[in-house]
Amino acid sequence: MRALNRDTLIAILLLLFCGLLAWSSLHIRLPGYGTLKPSTWPQIIVAVLTLFSAIYFVQSLSYPSADGDKGDDRKPGLGGFLEYFRNPIICFAIYFVFLATLPWAGALIGGILLVFALLTVLGGWTPRDLVRHAIYATVSMGFMWTLFTFGLRVILPEGEIFSIR
């Protein structure tokens, strides 16, 4: 059997997603008032999305797409994928850690650490780089924090460690 191409796989995932949403739309509470039911509009959209996904599925079987960033310099397999998307994956992971630790570190400290980590991962970690990145992170986040806190009067998340917003 021929291996599934990427578009076919996405189309199948989309169809499964549509199935899940269609099932969920059947459980939307009906309030007993109002003429347009709360489930009608989502059901219309799910039906349309299902139709488009089905067309996409058929199309993917007939004409495998050449679209998208396949990356000419990308090696095959999971290792190649991880190597090719190394920077975005690490950035998303750092951002995840920043958000997870936000209640503890706060916007200022967490933000400085976020920028420092991002710059160091992306730009290198020679001693000179580390100093430069620390300065960039402190100055840029300090400026943003001051601007939002005092200029725009936004109460940014306060950290538990130093109780600094």
Partner 1 sequence: MEHIFAALAEIATVHTLLLMSAGAIAGLLAGAIPGFTIAMAVVLTLPFTFSMTASQGIATMIGVFVGGLSGGLMSGILIGIPGTPSSVATTFDGFPMARQGRPGLALGLGVWSSFFGGTISAICLIAIAPQLARIGLEFQPWDYFALVFFALTITASLAGKNLIKGLISGALGLLIATVGEEDINGVSRFDFGSDYLQEGFAFLPVLIGLFAFSQLMGDIRNPAEARRSLVQTGDIDIRIEHMKAAKIVLSRWTNLVRSSIIGIFTGILPAAGSSISNILAYDQAKKASATPEKFGTGTEDGIIAPEASNNATAGGSLITMMALGIPGDIVTAVMLGALLIHDVVPSPSFITEAPVLAYSIFIAFFFANFLVLFFQSVALKLFVLVTKVKMYVLAGIILAYCGIGVFALNNIVNDMWTLLIFGVVGYAMRNLGFPLAPMILGVVLGPIAERWLARAVALSTDMTNFITHPWSVFFLTLSLFSMGFGIYQRDRGKKVWPFYYTPLMVLALTPAMFMMEGFIRPGIGIVMVAGGLYALYRAHQKAAEFKPAAGESA
Q: Which residues bind partner 1 (CB under 8 A)?
A: 6, 10, 14, 21, 24-25, 28-31, 33-36, 38-39, 41-42, 45-46, 48-49, 52-53, 55-56, 59, 65, 67-69, 84-88, 91-92, 95-96, 98-99, 102-103, 107, 111, 114-115, 118-119, 122-124, 136, 140-141, 144-145, 148, 152-157
**Cβ proximity to partner 1, 1 vs 153, nearer residue:** 153
Within 10 Å of residue 123's Cβ, how many Cβ atoms? Answer: 13
**Cβ proximity to partner 1, 69 vs 127, nearer residue:** 69
d(CA 49, CA 45): 6
On whether the CB atoms of residues 14 and 46 are closer than 8 A, the answer is no
**Cβ proximity to partner 1, 143 vs 162, nearer residue:** 143
Q: To the nearest 10°, the Cα dihedral for 70, 73, 77, 81?
A: -70
**Cβ proximity to partner 1, 2 vs 27, nearer residue:** 27
Query: Cα separations (Å) of 139 from 9, 54, 129?
Result: 46, 51, 15
